[in-house]
Amino acid sequence: MHLSHLGLPVRDRDRSLRFYATYFGFDPSTARSYPDGTTIVRNADGFDLALHPTATAPDRPHFLHFGFVMRDPAAVRDLRLRMERDDVPVVERDDESDLVSFKCLDPDGWRVEVYWERS
């Protein structure tokens, strides 16, 4: 058994698609829309992100987040710098010998963690 998708309420589907394609490798050509308005887009690992339209952003508890692991610490730092240059809010960062990570906010305020951790 493995986790295969995540559903997120979003206020602007196209904006969210661009964000996840630009920074996290979700392929817009895989996007499929459903009668309830949900759009599902897939990344190269076969993980599906289900974007469901909502008029307002729901409450987001502070700890609630989801994450993407990267191959090495330099890749994490490079993505963080790219996102900061693009004015994506970076709300947490950690840069230690065994863990390099940051959390940013997507266009709807969902916390997204990017990390590398020594195994």
- So where are the chain's domains? 1-57, 59-119
The domain made up of 59-119 is a member of CATH 3.30.450.40: no
Beta bridge mates, 49: 6, 41
Burial label for 13, CB within 10 Å (0-12, 13-18, 19+), is middle
The CATH number of 1-57, from 3.30.720.120, 3.20.20.10, 3.10.580.10, 1.10.3720.10, is 3.30.720.120
Tokens of 25: 């490798």
What is the pLDDT tens value at each position of the chain, 119 positions in all?
989 999 999 999 999 999 999 999 999 999 999 999 999 999 999 999 999 999 887 788 888 999 999 999 999 999 999 999 999 999 999 999 999 999 999 999 999 999 999 98
1-57 matches 59-119 in fold: no
- Report yes or no: 91 and 113 within 8 Å, Cβ to Cβ: no
